[in-house]
Amino acid sequence: MPNTFKITFLFILFSISCSFSQRNVFEWGEGMTEYTGKFDTTKFTLEEIETIHNYLYRNHVQLITIGNIWKIEQIDTATTKIIDDYYFKTSHILKTMKIPTGKFWDSLLIYRERELFEVCEHNRLFILAIKNPAIMYDYYHKECAPEINALNGDSTQLLEAWFNLKEKQKLTNCCPDNVEKKYQAQFRSKNRLIYARYELMTYGWGNCMNQFVYHHPNDQRIETEFEKLFLHVKTEQFED
């Protein structure tokens, strides 16, 4: 066999071997630990393993922040479209994805679907309510009544509630001086009523309402069951 042919043949074998090894290995991280798992390709494809990890092992990375308003300049243009699009796309993935057999995975899928629905509804409600605070009364919880009343009241009530919120934040924040400086700068702004509404919506009413939204706990059982999908898993621990 000519040398050039041998080299070409060996290169093809090496390429096939590398391709196969990459297609039956999945890597992921958790805190300061990295995992490398080798799985049986007759049971799952790499794409299926990735989907299980991205949508069941943990809630999807975009879920919590989808549609969030980060600054007051976004208020006027904010819509629920990005949330609606995300919900239908992610819901379709959950309904059509291949999951491992067993009651645990069947239940986990149901929990993730519920989490998706409730978080997206919460984020949609925030956008609707920041434009029309009266809608808060349709989703009333007495625990959130002070914020609801202030956001539907006059400017005096709104500013007073904002001040009280700031004082509470200073008690739990690592840097109360920074909280005060931020508040003073926003209060002196010509947009102080908008800042008041945004801050009270986000850190007052929004945080209060969040306690009524289902978030599935990311417990050790999920990690254990996920690792069972692999033939073996190698772990590597890193120091901070």
Pair (100, 161) in one structural domain: no
Is there a single domain that holds both residue 193 and residue 125? no
Q: Are residues 65 and 165 in the same domain?
A: no
Residues 132 and 78 in one domain: yes
pLDDT at residue 10 tops 60: no
Residue 32: its pLDDT value, please? 87
| 36: phi then psi, degrees, rounded to nearest 5 | -125, 115
Going by pLDDT thresholds of 50, 70 and 90, the confidence category of residue 240 is low
Taking the CA atoms of the chain, what radius of gyration do you get in angstroms? 25
Q: Which domain holds residue 180?
A: 142-211
> What is the reported pLDDT for 11?
39
Percent of residues, the chain, with pLDDT higher than 90: 84
| Span 186-211, pLDDT tens digits | 999 999 999 999 999 999 999 999 99
Amino acid, single-letter form, for residue 136: M
Say if CB 130 and CB 198 are below 8 A apart: yes
Cα 20 to Cα 38, 163, 232: the distances in Å are 11, 61, 16
DSSP 16-50: HHHHHHHHTEEEEEETTEEEEEE--TTT--HHHHH
- Note whether residue 234 is domain-resident: no
User: How far is residue 161's CA from residue 14's CA, in Å, rounded to a whole number?
Assistant: 67
Q: How many domains does the chain have?
A: 2
Rounded CA-CA distance 153/133 in Å is 10
DSSP code of residue 2: -
Locate 240 and state its tokens: 């901070």
Specify whether 166 is located in the same domain as 50.
no
Q: Is residue 163 part of a domain?
A: yes
Q: Are residues 56 and 133 in the same domain?
A: yes
Number of helical H runs and strand E runs in the chain: 10, 3
Q: Is the pLDDT of residue 167 over 50?
A: yes
pLDDT for 59: 87
Q: What is the mean pLDDT of residues 103-127?
A: 97
Mean pLDDT of 172-198: 96
Look at 8-22, 96-110, 132-146, 160-174 and tell me which has the smallest mean pLDDT: 8-22
pLDDT of residue 238: 80
Rounded Cα distance, 20 and 16, in Å: 6
Q: What's residue 22's pLDDT?
A: 59
Do 77 and 67 share a structural domain? Answer: yes
Residues of the chain with pLDDT > 70, as a percent, come to 90
161 in the same domain as 48 = no
Same domain, 133 and 217: yes
Tens-digit pLDDT profile for residues 19-64: 444 589 999 998 889 999 999 999 999 999 999 999 999 889 899 8
Asked if 218 contacts 58 with a C-beta cutoff of 8 angstroms, the reply is yes
Average pLDDT over residues 91-110: 97
The predicted pLDDT at position 2 comes to 53
135 and 66 inside one domain? yes
- Specify whether 122 is located in the same domain as 156: no
